[in-house]
Amino acid sequence: AANGVFVYPTILSPTITDVTSARLRCLTSDIDPAQNAGAIYYGECQYVTADHAAAGNKNNNASYRATTIGPAPSYTINVTTATVRQQPAMYAWQANDPNVIINVIDIPGDGRLLLGTRVTPLGAGAFLYEYALQNLSSDRSVQSFTASFGNATTITSSGFRDVENHSREVWSNLDWTANTLPTPISWASQTFGQNVNANAL
């Protein structure tokens, strides 16, 4: 992705012809308006072209729009805003919540990662930390993520979310393993040595 090369069409055998082929899948519980009061949804598209990357513009190819999702059973998606050009949808999170911090991570000779962070006080000295890590254009990809805290920190729970590979894509869907004791907390997929098709980011 860093040099603008995207191999298409993907060679799959036999060809997939079901209605979800080449589309993003998600849990209906994540998009059901009845289960997600007040949720705001965004769609992002990204152009990957070699000439644009060669011109030094590989990091401004993502844009997003806000959408609404209708009720079950159809969950009809409607675009509700104009396109916010040259910004990944990660920035919509920050636009709706000024407490979100986004760090840009540029890998020398490669591409870009975005790390969004939101810390919510829960009272009694407890906090909820939310992280969103996006691989915008890195060819090296990401195999692990670590968040460091003070030695006196007690981590009571952790979670992990990603998108589903499907339609005979070769990539694993194995969730990253969390390691919470002792701090820092980390998540990791299999290494390349363990599985060349590991669920890397």
The type of residue at 9 is P
- pLDDT, position 11: 65
- pLDDT, position 12: 65
Q: Is 61 exposed, middle or buried (0-12, 13-18, 19+ CB in 10 A)?
A: buried
Which residue from 102, 105, 164, 175 is spatially nearest to 136, judged by alpha carbons? 105
Tokens for 183?
């701090």
Q: What are the CB-based long-range contacts (under 8 Å, 24+) for 13-19?
A: 13/168, 16/167, 16/168, 18/167
- pLDDT, position 184: 85
- Residues in the chain with pLDDT values less than 50: none
pLDDT in tens, 47-79: 888 898 889 888 899 999 999 999 999 899 999
Cα–chain center distance at 77: 20
pTM for this one? 0.90
**DSSP secondary structure code for residue 35 in this structure:** G
Which residue from 174, 168, 176 is spatially nearest to 142, judged by alpha carbons? 176
